[in-house]
């Protein structure tokens, strides 16, 4: 069972990681805006800044996810606070179907080396790679790139806020919204006396 002081420390960390995610999402928007209005050479720099910011956003959201839905203990280790995730989610009124629970998109970025290993598999005969682009998801909706999904890595649809990784789509806007809402809840909780 978590005492109030420990719960408050975890709530504060949720608040901090949400704030980091909010900063990163603001930087993503700035980079997209600047990229649209820049010369090609400057646009490349802004594009890199966008990908840097998206990765930072996903890491922060992944940290929030781990705080709220802890991974099972590794073999030989015991959970010190077995009900931590449940208590923390309950204290911050986080729904079980929260889009912050999944760490799949973050894992694609964090374990990019493994994704490259899979792409390099000679049995799949990969001859090209499409990475770190801004592809409008309607192109993918129409099936125009279906045959090359294995070769399409980090892509983003800036109009719909959809990240696309090897054919898997992730709506990022709901993550932005939920992070902001959770930050507000955590901020309110940590101001309460314990």
> What residue segments make up the domains of the chain, in order of their start?
4-190
Closest of 176, 73, 155, 143 to residue 108, by C-alpha? 155
Reply yes or no on whether the pLDDT at 67 is more than 90.
yes
Which parts of the chain fold into alpha helices (H)?
4-36, 40-68, 84-91, 104-110, 112-119, 137-141, 173-190
Distance from the first to the final alpha carbon of the chain: 16
Reply yes or no on whether the pLDDT at 137 is more than 60.
yes
> Cα(12)–Cα(88) distance, rounded to whole angstroms?
11
Looking at mean pLDDT, say which of 126-130, 136-140, 141-145, 181-185 comes out highest: 181-185
Reply yes or no on whether the pLDDT at 175 is more than 60.
yes
Reply yes or no on whether the pLDDT at 166 is more than 80.
yes
pLDDT at site 178: 98
> Cα(93)–Cα(87) distance, rounded to whole angstroms?
10
Tell me the pLDDT band of 133, cut-offs 50, 70 and 90.
confident
Reply yes or no on whether the pLDDT at 147 is more than 90.
no
Contact 152, 167 (CB under 8 A): yes
How does the average pLDDT of the chain come out, rounded?
Answer: 88
Tell me the pLDDT band of 176, cut-offs 50, 70 and 90.
very high
HSE-up of residue 71 (Cα within 13 Å, Cβ side)? 9
Mean pLDDT, residues 105-117: 94
Mean pLDDT, residues 123-141: 72
pLDDT at site 70: 94
């Amino acid at each position: 069972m978590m005492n109030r002081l420990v719960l408050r420390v975890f709530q504060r960390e949720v608040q901090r990681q949400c704030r980091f995610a909010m900063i990163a999402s603001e930087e993503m928007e700035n980079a997209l805006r600047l990229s649209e209005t820049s010369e090609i050479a400057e646009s490349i720099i802004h594009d890199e800044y966008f990908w840097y910011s998206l990765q930072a956003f996903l890491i922060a959201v992944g940290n929030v996810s781990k705080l709220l839905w802890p991974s099972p203990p590794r073999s030989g280790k015991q959970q010190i606070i077995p009900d931590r995730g449940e208590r923390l989610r309950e204290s911050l009124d986080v729904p079980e179907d929260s889009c912050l629970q999944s760490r799949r998109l973050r894992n694609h970025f964090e374990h990019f080396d493994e994704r490259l290993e899979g792409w390099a598999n000679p049995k799949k005969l990969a001859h090209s790679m499409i990475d770190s682009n801004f592809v409008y998801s309607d192109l993918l909706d129409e099936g125009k790139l279906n045959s090359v999904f294995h070769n399409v890595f980090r892509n983003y649809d800036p109009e719909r806020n959809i990240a696309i990784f090897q054919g898997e789509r992730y709506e990022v806007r709901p993550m932005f919204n939920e992070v902001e809402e959770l930050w507000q809840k955590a901020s309110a909780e940590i101001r309460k006396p314990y």
